[in-house]
Amino acid sequence: MKTKQIADGIYMLSMNVEDILFEGIWSIANGVTLNSYIVKGEKTALVDGVIGWDGAVDTLYASLKEIDVDPSKIDYVIVNHMEPDHSGWIDNFKKINKDFKIICSPKAADLLDSFFGIKDNVTAVKDGATLDLGNGKILSFHLVPNVHWPDTMMTLDEESKTLMSCDMYGAFGKIEEHFFDDEMTDVEKDNFEEEGIRYFSNVMGTFAPQVGKAIEKTETLDVKIIAPGHGPIYRGNPQSIINDYKRYCSYRMGKGKNEISILWGSMYGMTERVVKEIREMLEKDGIKVNSLQMPYVDTSDMVSAIFRSAGVIIAAPTYEYKLFPPVAVALDEIGRKKISKKAAFCFGSYGWSGGAQKEIMELIEKYKLGWDFVEPVEFNGRASDEELQIIKDGVEKLIEKVKKIAE
Ligand SMILES: Cc1cc2nc3c(=O)[nH]c(=O)nc-3n(C[C@H](O)[C@H](O)[C@H](O)COP(=O)(O)O)c2cc1C
């Protein structure tokens, strides 16, 4: 765990976590940070903690000592969000500190009771409430419900204008050295663009409208530093992560990068043969293509690629009268994330009845994704030269649609 001072009386404690599935689903090949914050006035507050795993809590205590904070003397724990990756440690903390008070949203108070049986010394705050820690340190609390969970709030240190934003403005990706945006190299910035989109699409995507409201709330506050629960701290240009989050919201609602993702699967190569031709055609046209062969591609990467692309091609055969199952599973996940209004095209091979293309449309309809489709093409066995040409014409039409919505 690393400790960094981020403003007068405010310290970050950050731990890299790897080799887990985030939320039990999402692979995090490049890790993720869990960031906690200490605010020192006359009294001391800890804003968000760590997961309750063996080792994590002891590491947190050791890091607190590095910045002269005796864990047994912490006065307040601010629970911005009850999710166990931030609050799982509290059970252990109760053993060494009997007197601390918890400050959280009313919804988080309910969740602390139901998940951890914590009822005592909990103060549920209203939107805009403040807590005076003494020595000029006043914290204010800003509720941003349903940014991921219904209980979420952000905590602002009024003096340094540091917004401890919890899951808002977060990103996947571990950090070894450069925690601040103004220290990062261009390579690190590019990495966090990718890891930010992956985090947003995997974790926040479903809640983009509520994220939009949380952005509006942020813009009513006087903020100089944004310090999220995961990922880098923005002190050089806090507006940059606000703008990035606005852009990510727009990707969920139909905008996208000038990229086409091909979500595909094939049993005996009939569909794959056409995918290869289409891929070459797009690459010759200078369009970035993300080839997502299911079930081989990781779900986290698949969701992230579809999310950021303005255009999507679904290429899959019929299997037992329906869509090839690995592609159906992927499309179902895209539907759950409500990734809407993409420009799209689909094709695939069948043997005798067909049915894959019908199920694609049913899934798009079921989740009300409102994708704008070019006429689908279903071919029997191996695509003839004529059918191949019809598919290529379909791709040309898709490119035109992509041009209209790509950023
Ligand atoms: C297990 C299995 C189930 C299939 N079910 C159907 C079906 O219900 N209807 C149909 O038209 N074709 C069906 N087919 C045939 C495939 O759709 C056909 O072989 C197609 O060309 C496969 O394309 P691919 O090589 O890209 O996987 C099935 C094939 C397999 C192996």
Which residue from 271, 318, 322, 379 has its CB within 8 A of the most atoms of ligand 1, so it is best to mutate? 318
Mean pLDDT of the 37-48 span: 96
Share of the chain above pLDDT 90, in %: 86
C-beta 9 within 6 A of ligand 1: no
The pLDDT confidence band at residue 88, using thresholds 50, 70 and 90, is: confident
C-beta 382 within 6 A of ligand 1: no
What is the reported pLDDT for 146?
94
Which residue from 263, 324, 346, 352 has its CB within 8 A of the most atoms of ligand 1, so it is best to mutate? 352
Rounded mean pLDDT of the chain?
A: 95
What is the reported pLDDT for 89?
81
CA 362 to ligand 1 centroid distance, Å: 19
Cα 313 to Cα 204, 259, 278, distances in angstroms: 24, 11, 10
Which residue owns the Cα nearest ligand 1 atom 20? 350
- The Cα–Cα gap between 261 and 305 comes to 7
What is the reported pLDDT for 345?
98
172 closest CA partner among 297, 303, 355: 303
Q: Which two tokens stand for residue 195?
A: 């890891």
- The Cα–Cα gap between 101 and 29 comes to 37
- The Cα–Cα gap between 249 and 340 comes to 11
CA 375 to ligand 1 centroid distance, Å: 21
CA 350 to ligand 1 centroid distance, Å: 5
- The Cα–Cα gap between 134 and 345 comes to 60
Q: What is the pLDDT of residues 253-296, one digit of tens each?
A: 999 999 999 999 999 999 999 999 999 999 999 999 999 999 99
Which residue owns the Cα nearest ligand 1 atom 4? 319
C-beta 222 within 6 A of ligand 1: no
The pLDDT confidence band at residue 53, using thresholds 50, 70 and 90, is: low
Mean pLDDT of the 299-318 span: 98
User: Is the pLDDT higher at 87 or at 206?
Assistant: 206
264 closest CA partner among 299, 308, 295, 242: 295
Other C-beta atoms lying within 10 Å of the C-beta of residue 269: 12
What is the reported pLDDT for 49?
81
C-beta 165 within 6 A of ligand 1: no
- Poorest-pLDDT segment among 76-85, 132-141, 381-390: 76-85
What is the reported pLDDT for 60?
84
Task: Check whether 52 has a pLDDT greater than 80.
Answer: no
DSSP string, 177-213: S--BGGG--HHHHHHHHHHHHHHIIIIIGGGHHHHHH
C-beta 380 within 6 A of ligand 1: no
Mean pLDDT of the 312-334 span: 98
In the block, tokens 């992230």 appear at 304
Stated pTM of the model: 0.95
Task: Check whether 90 has a pLDDT greater than 90.
Answer: no
What is the reported pLDDT for 19?
85
Which residue owns the Cα nearest ligand 1 atom 19? 351
**Run of H or E residues at 58:** helix 56-66
Contacts of 362 (CB under 8 A, 6+ apart): none
Which residues make beta-bridge pairs with 260?
A: 289, 311
Which residues make beta-bridge pairs with 123?
A: 103
Which residue from 276, 319, 380 has its CB within 8 A of the most atoms of ligand 1, so it is best to mutate? 319
**Ligand 1 atom with minimal separation from the 320 CA:** 8
Mean pLDDT of the 144-154 span: 94
Mean pLDDT of the 215-241 span: 97
CA 312 to ligand 1 centroid distance, Å: 23
Task: Check whether 222 has a pLDDT greater than 70.
Answer: yes
What is the reported pLDDT for 46?
95
Domains of the chain: 2-252 (3.60.15.10), 257-399 (3.40.50.360)
